[in-house]
Amino acid sequence: MDTKNLTTLELNQLIADKARENDDFRLALINDAKTAIKKEFAVEFPEDTKVEVHVESTKVLHLIIPAGNADELTDDQLEDVAGGTALQPGVIICAYGVPYPGGGTAWKWPAK
C-alpha cells in the first residue's frame, strides 16, 4: 500500500475535516478515537500511543503544552509546538510535539 507523509498538523486537519463532514465518524472518534481512525483511514497507531479527542467549545480553551521533562525537543517538535493554524473562522487546530511512530519525520498515511 502506498503511503504519504503527514505532519501532525496535517494529520489533525485531515481528521478534523472528516469529523466536520461526517457525524457518524465524529461520534465514533469521540467514543474510541484509535478504532475510528483505523476503520476510516486504515491507520494503526503504535500500541503505546494514546489518542485523546477534545471537542471545541466557546467556553473552554484547550491548551497543549510540552511534557514537563527536561529533555530537549527536536527541531521538528519545536516547529510543531510553535502553534496552530486557522482553518476557517472560529476553527483552530493546535499542532504539538507528539513523536512520530518509529522515530520518523512524519506520520505514514495511506495515499488516496
pLDDT digits (tens, 9 = 90+) for 36-82: 998 988 887 888 888 889 888 878 877 777 666 655 666 766 666 56
What grid cell was written down for 27?
A: 461520534
Q: What is the pTM of this model?
A: 0.57
Q: How many CA atoms lie within 13 A of 66 on its CB side?
A: 15
How does pLDDT run across 76-104, given as a tens digit for each residue?
666 665 654 444 444 444 444 445 556 66
| Number of domains composing the chain | 1
- Tell me, yes or no, whether 90 lies in a domain: yes
Range of the domain at 67: 3-97
Check: CB of residue 67 under 8 Å from CB of residue 98: no
Q: What would the grid cell of residue 2 be?
A: 502506498
- Domain contains 80: yes
Q: Which residue has the cell 527541531?
A: 75
